């Protein structure tokens, strides 16, 4: 079953000419045909195009191309429906965009292609990346491969479910308040949100510009390091990308975590934390200690304000970013007597309930008379949250937390109560506000039903090497990442 293997395993097989890129791609397409009717990770995919790319890669390999030059040679990688792939549809999980076809490649897509990846498929998501369960997609529910009555998390639910169901080798997602790490935790795969500015966002449809980052979903930590190295780097097309050198991330995965100081934030270990999640995380912390990490208690005193701060800043930025969807240059236009009526009707008909809710909230907190009380105050509290982390990182090399307070919940369980849904992001949100990197790795399962639990490592700005090293050392000392969802 080639589709079940990792990038490193497939690299070895391709290099030895044991398999072809076409065989790998066909194995993924077969798995999609077999299981995606139940999972619905994909909104669409073009099998013929994927196979044509695979054939081109096989020719390159016969002509001498190798994985030193092109680290993703022959790897089928599927993309969240919020990142532009030239000549492929782009809908952001919304019906608003109609039959939109991307006129150009996002920088991360150019990088994947240059590294030899087979870029295919549009993965389901909460509309415009707003949500924590993928229930807000206009294209229907994505199901959790571990229990199809449950949600896969969100907003990158399709990206996580596709990896967990072995429908492709890796995927890309985006993370504004946890949208990579939370679904990775709930589906039992690895999800990495890089430091703000590490990866170019050119070609990513903007949700909240001061928070959004693109990152990978993979089957193990080594593959996450491989992908991060390909995706990272400054980009003239994204003025917020940071000109920081890109290290060889895989070289950091040497198991040497002895003496690393690992912080536990007491504010993250309380309130609403499921006992089984707590037990799994406590056991993981003991394991890390056994591997040589030094556990240190740290305090992030403003954690309790993170969700409120986030929902002011993210909605304010979204209300401005989403102004472009007005029916002039794209979108399924609804005619009006004048342009304003056309904008209003197009947006009213095209956006779903959660997007409307956030546009109204964001417009309100920016409106005259409320700006200082909400938006400006939230930006100040954001400074306090960021300073909490910077202060903690004077004492420790990384911080370890649960990724989510509970395992995957049932479809429909929280969709009627937006505030409860927002609170499910409580452990992932501060990372985006502080702009630091975070990774989620599997750290156990609940007993009945058997659902994955995620462990989150948060690092210093541009400290991806350290969190990858810790996550890798932990992963290699456990077998959680080898467990597979049963799908029949």
Partner 1 sequence: MAAAEIDVKYVAHLARLALSPEEEKTLSSQLGNILGYIEKLKEADVTNVEPTAHAFPMVNVTREDVARPSMPNEDALRNAPAKANGLFMVPKIVE
The residues annotated as belonging to the active site are 80, 155, 179
Give the residue with the Cβ less far from partner 1, 7 or 359. Answer: 359
> Which of 327, 442, 452, 454 is in the footprint of partner 1 by CB under 8 A?
327
Decide if residue 384 touches partner 1 (CB under 8 A): yes
Nearer to partner 1, 264 or 320 (CB): 320
Contact set for partner 1, span 393-412 (CB under 8 A): none
Supply 352's token pair: 């779903």
Build a one-symbol-per-residue string for 93-112: x at contacts with partner 1 by CB under 8 A, - elsewhere: -----xxxx-xx--------
Give the x/- contact pattern for partner 1 in 236-275, rule: CB under 8 A.
x--xx-x---------------------------------
Is 344 a binder of partner 1 (CB under 8 A)?
yes
Span interacting with partner 1, options 3-11, 145-153, 218-226, 307-315, rule CB under 8 A: 307-315
User: H/E/C letters for each residue in the chain?
Assistant: CHHHCCHHHHHHHHHCCCCCHHHHHHHHHHHHHHHHHHHCCEEECCHHHHHHHHHHHHHHHHCCCCCCCCCCCCCEEEEECCECCCCCECCCCCCCCCCCECCCCCHHHHHHHHCCCEEEEEECCCHHHCCCCCCCCCCCCCCECCECCECCCCCCHHHHHHHHCCCCCEEEEEECCCCCHHHHHHHCCEEEECCCCCECCCCECCCCCCCCEEEEEECCHHHHHHHHHHHECCECCECCCCCCCCCCHHHHCCCCCCCCEEEEEHHHCCCCCCHHHHHHHHHHHHHHHHCCCEEEEECCCCHHHHHHHHHHHHHHHHHHHHHHCCCCCCCCCCCCCCHHHHHHHHHHHHCCHHHHHHHHHHHHHHCCCCCHHHHHHHHHHHHHHHHHHHHHHHHCCEEEEECCCCCCCECCCCCCCHHHHHHCCCCCHHHHHHCCCEEEEEEEECCCCCCEEEEEEEECCCCHHHHHHHHHHHHHCCCHHHCCCCCC
Q: Which is nearer to partner 1, 311 or 445 (CB)?
A: 311
User: How many residues contact partner 1, by CB under 8 A?
Assistant: 76
Buried b (16+ CB within 10 A) or exposed e, 138-163: bbebbbbbbebebbbbbbbbbbbbbb
Nearer Cβ to partner 1, position 223 or 465? 465
Q: Which of residues 124-183 bind partner 1 (CB under 8 A)?
A: none
Residues 414-433 within binding reach of partner 1 (CB under 8 A): 418-419, 422, 433
Min CB(464)–partner 1 separation in Å: 14
Q: How far is the CB of 296 from partner 1 (least distance, A)?
A: 24
Please, which residue, 270 or 340, has the CB nearer to partner 1?
340
To the nearest whole angstrom, how small is the minimum distance from the Cβ of residue 216 to partner 1?
Answer: 20
Distances (CA, A) of 12 to 119, 175, 444: 20, 31, 29
Q: How far is the CB of 410 from partner 1 (least distance, A)?
A: 21
Site string for partner 1, 346-375 (x = CB under 8 A): -xxx-x-x--xx-xxx-xx--x--x---x-
Binding residues for partner 1 restricted to 447-486, rule: CB under 8 A: 461
Contact 321, 208 (CB under 8 A): yes
Cα Rg, the chain, nearest whole Å: 21
Query: Applying CB under 8 A, does 289 fall inside the site for partner 1?
Result: no
Cβ closer to partner 1: 39 or 355?
Answer: 355
Shortest Å distance, C-beta 277 to partner 1: 23
Whether residue 246 contacts residue 378, with contact meaning beta carbons closer than 8 Å, is answered with: no
Instruction: Tell me if 124 sits within 8 A of 41, measured CB to CB.
Output: yes
Closer CB to partner 1, 34 or 377, in the complex? 377
The distance of closest approach from Cβ of residue 313 to partner 1 in the complex, given in angstroms and rounded to an integer, is 9
Judged by CB under 8 A, the chain residues 177 through 216 that form the site for partner 1 are 195-197, 210
Site for partner 1 in 31-90 (CB under 8 A): none
Q: Tell me the closest approach of the beta carbon of residue 345 to partner 1, in angstroms.
A: 5
Options 39-47, 123-131, 304-312, 443-451: segment touching partner 1 (CB under 8 A)? 304-312
Among 261, 386, 450, 484, binds partner 1 (CB under 8 A): 386
Q: Which is nearer to partner 1, 253 or 312 (CB)?
A: 312
* Nearest-approach distance from CB 206 to partner 1, in angstroms: 14
Candidate ranges 72-80, 145-153, 170-178, 235-243; the one touching partner 1 (CB under 8 A) = 235-243
Find the part of the chain contacting partner 1 (CB under 8 A) among 144-152, 164-172, 344-352, 402-410: 344-352
């Amino acid at each position: 079953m080639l589709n079940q293997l990792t990038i490193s395993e497939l690299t070895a097989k391709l290099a030895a000419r044991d398999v072809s890129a076409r065989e790998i791609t066909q194995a993924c397409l077969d798995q999609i045909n077999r299981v995606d009717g139940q999972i619905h990770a994909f909104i669409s995919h073009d099998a013929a195009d994927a196979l044509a790319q695979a054939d081109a890669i096989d020719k390159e390999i016969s002509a001498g191309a190798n994985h030193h030059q092109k680290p993703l040679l022959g790897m089928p990688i599927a993309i969240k429906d919020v990142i532009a792939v030239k000549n492929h549809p782009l809908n952001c999980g919304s019906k608003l965009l109609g039959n939109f076809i991307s006129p150009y490649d996002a920088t991360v897509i150019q990088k994947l292609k240059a590294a030899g990846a087979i870029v295919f498929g549009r993965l389901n998501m909460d509309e415009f990346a707003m949500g924590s369960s993928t229930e807000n997609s206009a294209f229907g529910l994505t199901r959790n491969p571990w229990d199809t009555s449950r949600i896969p998390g969100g907003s990158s639910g399709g990206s996580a479910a596709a990896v967990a169901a072995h429908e492709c080798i890796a995927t890309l997602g985006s993370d504004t308040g946890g949208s990579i790490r939370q679904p990775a935790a709930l589906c039992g795969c690895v999800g990495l949100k890089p430091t703000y500015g590490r990866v170019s966002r050119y070609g990513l449809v903007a949700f909240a510009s001061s928070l959004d980052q693109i990152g990978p979903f993979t089957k193990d930590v080594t593959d996450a390091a491989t992908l991060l190295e390909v995706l990272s780097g400054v980009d003239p097309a994204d003025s917020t990308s940071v000109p920081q050198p890109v290290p060889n991330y895989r070289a950091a995965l040497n198991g040497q975590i002895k003496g690393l100081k690992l912080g536990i934030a007491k504010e993250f270990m309380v309130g609403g934390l499921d006992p089984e999640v707590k037990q799994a995380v406590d056991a993981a912390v003991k394991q890390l200690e056994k591997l040589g990490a030094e556990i240190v208690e740290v305090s992030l005193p403003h954690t309790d304000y993170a969700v409120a701060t986030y929902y002011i800043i993210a909605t304010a930025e979204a209300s401005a970013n989403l102004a472009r969807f007005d029916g002039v240059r794209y979108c399924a236009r609804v005619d009006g007597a004048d342009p304003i009526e056309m904008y209003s009707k197009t947006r009213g008909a095209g956006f779903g309930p959660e997007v409307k809710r956030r546009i109204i909230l964001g417009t309100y907190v920016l409106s005259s008379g409320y700006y200082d009380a909400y938006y400006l105050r939230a930006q100040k509290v954001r400074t306090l949250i960021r300073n909490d982390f910077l202060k903690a990182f004077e004492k420790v090399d990384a911080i370890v937390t649960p990724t989510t307070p509970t395992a995957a919940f049932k479809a429909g369980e929280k969709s009627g109560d937006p505030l409860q849904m927002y609170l499910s992001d409580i452990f992932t949100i501060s990372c985006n506000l502080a702009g630091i990197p975070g990774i989620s790795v599997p750290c156990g399962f609940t007993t009945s039903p058997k659902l994955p639990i995620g462990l989150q490592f948060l690092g210093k700005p541009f400290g991806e090497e350290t969190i990858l090293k810790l996550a890798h050392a932990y992963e290699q000392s456990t077998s959680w990442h080898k467990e597979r969802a049963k799908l029949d």
